[in-house]
Chain A
Amino acid sequence: MTTTENPAATDTRTITLRVNGREITRTVSTRTTLADFLRDDLDLVSVHLGCEHGVCGCCTVLLDGQSVRSCLMLAVQARGHEVETVESLSADQTNLHPIQEAFAEEHALQCGFCTPAMVLRCKEIIADGRTRTDEEVRREISGILCRCTGYQNIVNAVQNASRRCASTGQEA
């Protein structure tokens, strides 16, 4: 087979899924990753690509409420599912979600590249309303690499966000 006949390059499917609460229907190349689909087709550039081999976790999105690495999924695999990116919390810089506020207050970000992933993971883990030790939080965020902060302020932000969401009764 010569590469000019590579069917992977030309094969497409039409998919329907929910993204940040909206139903979306698009025709995509079957080899397009979920990350590239979200970034390039839907302009959700908060989904950051750090390694594209499933280690750094910067491309984390929530799929039916659970964190997944969107670089390791194909867009077509998300058909029929619900995807959330950080824009689902707040895309308005002047009106942040309490989790985003907690990250700002605790200085839990520097370059911002892992931040959307960390915020989404925070949302997922504090959803149960449980009180956690710092060590538990460390374990639960250890699937996402941050090169700037040394993690302590992210741990603090998760705890801060947990308190905020509990006290306001706001759903995480």
Chain B
Amino acid sequence: MTATQDPARTTEEGPDRPAFTYIGKDRRRVEDPRLLVGRGGYIADMKLPGMLHAAILRSPVPHARIASIDVSAALEIPGVVAVFTGEDVKAHMDPCMNFGPATITQYPIAVDKVRYVGEAVAAVVAENRYIAEDGVDAIVVEYEELPVVSDPRAALEPDAPVLHEEHGSNLGYERTFEFGDITAALESADLVVEDELHWGRSAGMPMETTGAIARPGHNGVLEIYCNSLNFSYLQFLLAAALRIPSNKLKMQPVPAGGSFGSKFTAHKVPTLAGFLALRTGRPVCYLEDRLDHLMNSDHHGSDRYYKVRMGFTKDGLITGLDVDVVDDYGAYMQFGVGTHGNALSQAVGPYRFRDLRYRLRAAVTNKCQQGAYRGFGSEVHNWVLERLVEQGAAKLGIAPEEIRKRNFVLPEEFPYKIPGGNVYDSGNYPGVLEKALSMIDLEHWRKEKERLRREENRYIGIGIATTQERSVFSSTEFWFWFDEPPFPITSSPESATITIDPTGAFQLLLHCQAMWGNSPETVATTILAEEFGIEPESVNVSYADTSRALPGTGPGGSRFTVMVAGAVRGAARKLKKKLIDIAAHTLEVAPEDLELVAARVQVRGAPERSLGLPELAASAYFFALNLPPGMQSGLEESYTYDHPYTTLPSPDRSDLGVFYPIMGHACHIAVMEVDPDTGMTKFLDYVAVHDAGTVVNPKSLGGHVTGGAAQGLGSTLYEELAYDADGQFRSSTFLDYLVPTANEVPPFRIGHVETPSPYTEYGIKGGGEGGRMVTPSAVSAAIDDALREYGMHVRELPIKPADIVATVQAARAKG
């Protein structure tokens, strides 16, 4: 398909949209009963016979050559089985999977050098975790410390100390994309807003850490049970690192206690567990503790420094956006710069401007490596975009809701191709804004703001922000950065297998790591119920291991609901055809005269002539001579659903192709009070309206929005994975890294708008990340608005009370 061709449209949009029985209803989740009795089946709950436990010695210094490691005292401890260091991994495995530069390699235990505080230096394997940690304490390491690179901008200076000698510099990657003519767009503008912004580091920080159990199994097969990784997509890369054939590595997904990106492709924990099991010949569990996870989770989130410019006409129309960003990737570049591909998928937001320049420099520093966190980098770009729109509105004297209305892409303009090439499938941005405005009395709050300031000396701010919520990634964003990509992947499928057993009961097999706290089983069984007219709760769901898994990609980029719905519906169509063919043969009517209604195949117009699923299943399994000639016994069908709309980038990258077209949208309005003397903030109201296309389950989508918004709030006001100028990590416990409690998170009021996607089954769009993608913008705008008289202007996240107080005091000192 070329970039100009439109894919097949589905029938779910418009007035002919079918009525659904289960889709769109608030339903209890099928995952909940087991979780409510404490039987979530997490990795820590699993015990294998003879299982050993690993604990990791982590580097206390940010940059050093490892001069020596003495493990002899550790090995003398009763119960310690073995100790492994970088020498062992170098001798017995290949570097970890890596989508970054080939000259920046990483092992699960540091080889020769440590490059950040918390990097693994040695692994102790023992009879239990207590003894393993005794072993860690007994290891003696001599470090020859090296100069430290902490600031990513300083890292790019010519005289900066280099982390990876083979790479030659700390510039991991650089590219500038220009779409349209940014110079002309800014020159023709009546107003150009310039800014420097910093989005600080936070991370998904689920309550459960990452863990894996590896066991040498039968036939030389290594089994790895883990709560991370999109393993049916990437398992072969783990096998390669472990130097075993991919068909000798069997990975089994284990439900996770949250991810939010932190377990997306998190590969070092299962790789290390696999290595330790291979070396000891015994089952080994490695489960991060919270300190491990804070300083060395597979990845922290984005950490970006921006210089940006946006042009406006005097009427508030945006003319163009010029972005120059330095992203602090930490010590390794395991996933390349895909998080910026994400930003480019919605680089212009919901707005109509056509001129865009995006310069990216990826810096390597002495910090933990970077990766996925809810939004995958597009949330950062959205904050930058909305910061600029906010300033443009303020400088031009246009209300924030009005400037957005003037710039929105309108409902009749879809599908809409943005600068850079991605397509927005559908949307109703004015409708979402109107819905949000209808849920809150803005005029009341604007008057109240004036009154409270005047009469009670209180400072109220109102923040309005929007976001695009790109969903359903295709994979080209990971490689279109390179002119000659080594592996230009274009697949990101999802699969499902439906089995009706001999009694007519349903089994549903999913083919990916799926249960990360989202609702994969609720979604998949809702679709199955919709197709067959059965109760969702009657379906048993399980997950395939890699020895039998069909192509799958797993959750990520808000893709799972759309993709699993496509897979389940595809398999359902095949299975329904078989049921109807059996019934047609049995009832001696033409297949086209039959329909499947409420778990029965019946004659159209004569529903008394029908066969139930148990009767059809019995025929399928036990009475081959009653089946149509040539039909195979059994009732099982699989379907692999490919991404509904992906196109290739052009060779010269003047067009990046369609890579993230299923486009949701959201608008948040925050009303906050800010205390100028303490810098403390408080929410007075908060409205969040999201459009994720056809909603499968309003209650669970609302849960995603609320939870995402709470995380956005954390990234905006509280959470910081802080490093000091010497590269020392300063957020190594939950007393330092402040996850919001129920006291900090306001009662968000949620609204839904439904603009079905024309390209997906049922018109569903993804909705897992939007909450976090817009809160930072709304809260930043509200704080600015509250303290506008002091010139408050949020430039850095998280916004600390001390920064607010300093701004106020400086303004007051000036008088």
Contacts and interface: CB of A to CB of B under 8 A. Distances in A.
B706 A93 contact: no
Interface in A113-165: 113-116, 119, 134, 137-139, 141-143, 145-155
B77 A145 contact: no
Nearest to B40: A112
B583 to A, nearest CB: 33
Contact of A85 (B38, B44, B207, B703): B38
Contact of A141 (B34, B73, B134, B742): B742
B25 interface: no
A56 B734 contact: yes
Nearest to B129: A36
B747 A134 contact: yes
A100 B36 contact: yes
The 7 closest A-B pairs by CB, nearest first: A46-B38, A111-B517, A112-B35, A113-B257, A150-B710, A150-B706, A55-B734
Contacts of A55: 733-735
A151 B703 contact: no
A3 B138 contact: yes
B699 A107 contact: yes
A43 to B, nearest CB: 9
A96 B208 contact: no
Interface residues of A, number: 63
A2 B209 CA distance: 32
Contact of B38 (A45, A51, A153): A45
Given A145-B741, A150-B709, A3 B28 contact: no
B742 A153 contact: no
B745 A151 contact: yes
Contacts of A85: 38
A77 interface: no
A115 to B, nearest CB: 5
B717 to A, nearest CB: 14
B76 A112 contact: no
A4 B77 CA distance: 5
A152 B747 contact: yes
B42 interface: yes
A28 B702 CA distance: 45
Nearest to A47: B38
Contacts of B209: 50
18 contacts: A6-B134, A29-B130, A45-B38, A45-B45, A48-B208, A53-B734, A55-B733, A90-B37, A103-B32, A104-B28, A112-B32, A112-B34, A112-B257, A113-B40, A138-B742, A148-B258, A151-B741, A154-B742
Contact of A115 (B35, B130, B137, B747): B35
A72 interface: no
A49 interface: yes
Given A55-B733, A104-B29, A147-B207, A31 B130 contact: yes
Contacts of B38: 44-48, 85-87, 91, 115-116
A63 B703 CA distance: 31
Contacts of A151: 706, 710, 741-742, 745
A54 to B, nearest CB: 9
Interface string B574-613: 0000000000000000000000000000000000000000
Contacts of B208: 48, 50, 111, 113
B411 interface: no
A9 interface: yes
Contacts of A14: none
Given A107-B699, A148-B703, 9 more contacts: A3-B134, A50-B207, A51-B734, A52-B289, A100-B37, A110-B258, A112-B36, A113-B42, A145-B739
B220 interface: no
Nearest to B287: A49
A96 B36 contact: yes
B459 interface: no
